[in-house]
């Protein structure tokens, strides 16, 4: 006799957390089984998918895979109740504990850092309008080749990353260089999937931020550039119209401005 995933006698002895895992895992397994049936998966295809999943792990691409194809859904669920600024996914390339910088700040960069100069200015406020003077804008982005420090960029740790402390009016100014679009590595399993399916492999150029201030919900977001490539076909489905900035030409490069509005805790 085959036993179903949920024999009636099991339900009574499960704790709340077991029940949550049970319901989630049962639905996930059932959803995948339905896909196998709907597409009449062959044994050769099963073997290929199994090998591909093994390679995702061996290549260390589970964070990339999950954040590209699933984090946007979780992010939308998590931030739907918020009244402040729109959030966006954290992605796989956040590194904590970066250098703290006073505003106006210049992100750590190589002496010959490629890319057009870019200045980001703005203010951090609460949803009730108060300037948050003790806010910190943790910012990181790819270089002019689309590479992140710690993940393929050749250069010192901490390049194009920093935690910028705002002034007494919650204002910040960050000098850096324009990032390039990000391409999912072609030589890894996620790149293989994209090529095999004929999908777009790019994310539009973006800046990542985690904005925090005491007594307020932390805001994880991303900022994009109007007119840039791949705003409409982001492989990670993470673009929101509110997060697309309009670059101004300021003579000495490009400048963008964005104010972050944080929800009070509780």
Binding residues (CB under 6 A) for ligand MBD: these are 64, 67-68, 89, 91-93, 182, 203, 236, 238
The residue (of 125 and 141) whose beta carbon lies closer to ligand MBD is: 141
Which parts of 47-166 are beta strand (E)?
100-102, 105-106, 117-126, 136-141, 161-165
Min. distance of Cβ 109 from ligand MBD in angstroms?
A: 18
Sign of torsion over alpha carbons 128, 240, 204, 95: positive
Name which of ligand MBD, Fe ion, none residue 243 binds, using a CB cut-off of 5 to 8 Å depending on partner kind.
none
What does 261 bind: Fe ion, ligand MBD, none (CB cut-off 5 to 8 Å by kind)? none
DSSP, res 243: G
Work out what residue 92 binds among ligand MBD, Fe ion, none; the CB cut-off runs from 5 to 8 Å by kind. Answer: ligand MBD
Of residues 166 and 260, the one with the C-beta less far from ligand MBD: 260
Instruction: Write down the least CB distance from residue 258 to ligand MBD, Å.
Output: 17
- In the bound state with ligand MBD, the residue whose beta carbon lies nearer, of 67 and 138, is 67
Lookup: tokens for 38:
């709907």
Are the C-beta atoms of 240 and 86 separated by less than 8 Å?
yes
Q: Which two tokens stand for residue 263?
A: 């929800």
Within 10 A of 177 (CB to CB), how many other CB atoms are there? 20
- Binding partner selected for residue 87 from Fe ion, ligand MBD, none, CB under the kind-specific 5 to 8 Å limit: none
Please give the structure tokens belonging to residue 215.
Answer: 């007594």
For ligand MBD, the closer CB: 103 or 237: 237
Smallest distance, Å, CB 141 to ligand MBD? 8
**Interface ranges with Fe ion (CB under 5 A):** 91
Closest CA to 141 of 234, 210, 81: 210
* Contact call for residues 207 and 172 (beta carbons, < 8 A): no
């Amino acid at each position: 006799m085959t036993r179903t995933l949920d024999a009636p006698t099991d339900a009574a002895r499960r704790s709340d957390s077991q029940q949550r895992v049970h319901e989630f895992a049962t639905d996930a397994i059932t959803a995948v089984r339905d896909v196998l049936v709907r597409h009449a998966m062959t044994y050769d295809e099963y073997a290929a998918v199994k090998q591909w999943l093994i390679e995702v792990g061996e290549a260390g691409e589970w964070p990339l895979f999950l954040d590209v194809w699933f984090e946007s859904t979780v992010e939308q669920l998590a931030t739907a109740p918020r009244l402040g600024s729109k959030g966006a996914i954290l992605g796989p390339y956040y590194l904590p504990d970066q250098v703290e910088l006073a505003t106006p700040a210049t992100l750590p960069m190589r002496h010959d850092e490629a890319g057009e100069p870019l200045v980001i200015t703005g203010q951090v406020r609460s949803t009730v309008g108060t300037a948050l003077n003790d806010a910190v804008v943790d910012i990181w982005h790819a270089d002019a080749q689309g590479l992140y420090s710690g993940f393929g960029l050749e250069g010192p740790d901490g390049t194009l990353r920093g935690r910028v402390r705002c002034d007494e009016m919650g204002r910040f100014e960050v000098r850096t260089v324009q990032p390039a679009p990000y391409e999912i590595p072609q030589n890894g399993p996620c790149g293989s999937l994209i090529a095999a399916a004929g999908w777009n492999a790019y994310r539009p150029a973006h800046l990542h931020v985690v904005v925090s201030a005491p007594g307020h919900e932390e805001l994880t977001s991303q900022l994009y550039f109007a007119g840039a490539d791949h705003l409409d076909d982001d492989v990670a489905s993470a673009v929101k119209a509110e997060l697309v900035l309009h670059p101004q030409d300021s003579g000495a490069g490009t400048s963008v401005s964005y104010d972050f509005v944080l929800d009070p805790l509780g």
